[in-house]
Structure 1
Amino acid sequence: MQVKRTGIVALSSFYIIALLVIGELLLYKDNRESSRNKRSIFTRTNPGNETDLPLIFVGGVPSSGTTLMRSMLDAHPDIRCSPETRLLSWLMLELKEWHRGEDETHRLAEAGVVPYVLDTAVTKFMLQIIKHHSTPKSFFCNKDPLLLLDMIYLKKLFRNAKFIYMVRDGRANAHSLVSRNVTILGVEPTSYRTMLQFWNRASLQMYASCNVLGEAVCLPVHYEKLVLQPVQTTKKIFEFLDIDWNPEVLHHERHVKETLSQFEFLTDQVKKPIYLDALTSWFGKIPLDVERDMAKIAPMLKILGYDPNNREPNYGEPDDFVSGIVKY
């Protein structure tokens, strides 16, 4: 699915987000050259420094396939991902509150709580949650969808971290959230228009941050490709992670009971093998006035490779594994 060019409105929004992340980009810049070697960045660790751990962060807009992705990773014998705790996203929200105004920033500085102190505390807290909320394995993974809004800051804390950014057609995303009455970051699921606007804002920020970090550090994964061509897609993911691919990742349903939480979205779906129903469940459900304004409401659709004017898109053909022709 090719990412296409967009118009002036989408580009203007893109640059706004780029400005928001430029401060953290400057902090990240010095380490950019060392991240060009994909293999070395993920495998070189210092046993005495846990911030060098090759952590895997999975995220995206909620209901974009993050639970499926983390379930597939959990099926790998060397990876421990486990259900989301939401603690890390809440921590990021609190961190922003602490720096919301100059008065609070000065108050913290006067008390000796300078940015380095906060960064150290946040790093240790995150490591405790990621490492100890389930049985450890060789590679640690954390799935918390909206945490990827802060992936540049996370890369500053964990220099060997990698990010899997789940991307899904925003219309399907909005339908999933609205139909299940899910409130995200205070956004009430009152309308498809409101939810698509939220999807667009969050997608824009994650997409911009992913581009800043580069392809050696952040991998966008289209949900539609993951369910239609899981063999090819998961092999690409594990090449990115520099971890040997294992066919068990295609059979997440065999392992998901060990790591399933009733509080995660769509847990009923990840109990099943890969299936295609969710690809088209939104067809005919979006109000006509929203369909008419889709290109203006969600310009990120076009940037991410979706046609905002096609109301029933064909996402591709299933591979031989999904079709049942080839077994693993």
Structure 2
Amino acid sequence: MHRLIEGGITDEVLDAAVSAFILEIIVRHGRPAPRMCNKDPFTLRAATYLRKLFPNAKFILMVRDGRAVVHSIITRKVTITGYDLSDYRQCLRRWNIAMSSMHSQCMQLGPQICMPVYYEQLVLHPKTWMQRILAFLELPWNDSVLHHDKVISQSGISLSKLERSTDQVIKPINIEALSKWVGKIPDDVVRDMASVAPMLATLGYNPHANPPNYGQPDSFVLNNTWEIRRNSDEWHAREDQLRMEREALRLAMARKKEEEQKMSEATHEPPIQVREAVGGR
């Protein structure tokens, strides 16, 4: 670091470069808009630094029951550095560390800058919580926020086929995912839950409740859930189709990478006379 400073690369220069890079990615990711946003599960691990780079930024800390988070990561095979997808206990400990850091930074920034939102309450009472979120962001109310499934792939909103949660995001708001983890976590981990993931209690979850009582859903959320269950065959078919497309895309990308690797190796072969000299030894 001292060498960089001596060379004129100060903190200010580095901060300007990092903020320009982030802004370029966000701006060019979609169509122009008066407000730019970034959704990433681990963004708030750098919240205080990002606030320094973007002094007008606001942050939403999405809080979810860590047991549901880990179950989703493991069953969907979501690769995250440092997470052992064969070990619930280890993943819960990693979640606990990450959540502790993000929660701490959110509290440090204060309620005017960082707003914690509980996933379960957002799903159960979407209108109430979306009104609070939009007020926090100083944005006008728009009914479309309650019907995300109808605006996906429109107005520049796109979903990656490689994203494993895409098959769930295409559905209207429903409560199916809230307690899917119940009965899936090993008994010894359930027994030690309070010590394995103490952030559960810090965030207000009962580590011993299986399942916890998250509350009762609004009527329209309940109706959405009934409709999804009534048409379960159709939804399963759509999910299977998305999974097949995702796998085909992954295979195509892997083949392309392999071909590029072969071409790269071919281009870096030594000149023929060098190969002959080596072969003649």
Q: Same fold (TM over 0.5)?
A: yes
The counterpart of 1:275, out of the listed 169, 174, 183, is: 174
The counterpart of 1:190, out of the listed 86, 93, 96, is: 86
Q: Partners of 1:181 and 1:127 in 2: how far apart?
A: 30
Query: SS at 1:140's partner residue?
Result: coil
**Contact persistence 1:257–1:271 (CA under 8 A):** no
Match in the other structure for 1:304: 203
In structure 1, what residue type is equivalent to 2:108? V
**Contact persistence 1:260–1:267 (CA under 8 A):** yes
Match in the other structure for 2:269: none
Note if 1:289 corresponds to 2:185. Answer: no
Query: SS at 1:139's partner residue?
Result: coil
Distance apart, 1:263 and its partner CA: 2.6
Q: Which structure exhibits the higher relative contact order, with contacts defined as CA atoms closer than 8 Å and separated by 6 or more residues?
A: 1
Match in the other structure for 2:165: 266
Note if 1:210 corresponds to 2:106. Answer: yes
Distance apart, 1:318 and its partner CA: 0.6
Aligned pairs for 1:47-86 (under 5 A) are none
Q: Partners of 2:105 and 2:26 in 1: how far apart?
A: 22
Query: SS at 2:62's partner residue?
Result: strand
**Contact persistence 1:149–1:206 (CA under 8 A):** yes
Query: SS at 1:313's partner residue?
Result: coil
Query: SS at 1:145's partner residue?
Result: coil
**Contact persistence 2:174–2:222 (CA under 8 A):** no
Query: SS at 1:277's partner residue?
Result: coil
Match in the other structure for 1:219: 115
Note if 1:243 corresponds to 2:142. Answer: no
Deviations 1:116-166 (A, max 9, x none): 110010111111111121101121111122121001000001111000111
**Structure 1 stretches of 4+ moved >4 Å:** none
Q: Partners of 1:290 and 1:304 in 2: how far apart?
A: 19
Aligned pairs for 1:9-88 (under 5 A) are none
Deviations 1:186-209 (A, max 9, x none): 322121101100110000000000
Q: Partners of 2:164 and 2:77 in 1: how far apart?
A: 11
Q: Partners of 1:144 and 1:175 in 2: how far apart?
A: 18
**Contact persistence 2:83–2:94 (CA under 8 A):** yes
**Contact persistence 2:76–2:164 (CA under 8 A):** no
Match in the other structure for 1:174: 70
**Contact persistence 2:175–2:222 (CA under 8 A):** no
Q: How many residues align?
A: 221
Distance apart, 1:242 and its partner CA: 0.8
Tell me the TM-score normalized by structure 2: 0.76
Bigger mean CA deviation after superposition, 313-322 or 211-220: 313-322
Q: Partners of 2:138 and 2:84 in 1: how far apart?
A: 39
Distance apart, 1:321 and its partner CA: 2.6
Deviations 1:93-121 (A, max 9, x none): xxxxxxxxxxxx12322222111110010
Match in the other structure for 1:115: 11
Q: Partners of 1:298 and 1:324 in 2: how far apart?
A: 34
**Contact persistence 2:194–2:207 (CA under 8 A):** yes
Bigger mean CA deviation after superposition, 299-308 or 255-264: 255-264
Q: Partners of 1:217 and 1:139 in 2: how far apart?
A: 15
Q: Partners of 2:27 and 2:194 in 1: how far apart?
A: 42
In structure 2, what residue type is equivalent to 1:321? F
**Matched residues, percent identical?**
51
In structure 2, what residue type is equivalent to 1:251? H
Match in the other structure for 2:273: none
Query: SS at 1:166's partner residue?
Result: strand
What RMSD, in angstroms, separates the aligned Cα atoms of the two structures? 1.3
Q: Partners of 2:164 and 2:52 in 1: how far apart?
A: 29
Query: SS at 2:37's partner residue?
Result: strand
Note if 1:106 corresponds to 2:2. Answer: yes
Distance apart, 1:261 and its partner CA: 1.1
Q: Partners of 1:321 and 1:218 in 2: how far apart?
A: 29
Q: Partners of 1:283 and 1:188 in 2: how far apart?
A: 20
Distance apart, 1:262 and its partner CA: 1.4
**Contact persistence 1:228–1:276 (CA under 8 A):** yes
Which protein has the larger Cα radius of gyration, Structure 1 or Structure 2?
A: 2
Distance 1:304 1:280, change over 3 A: same
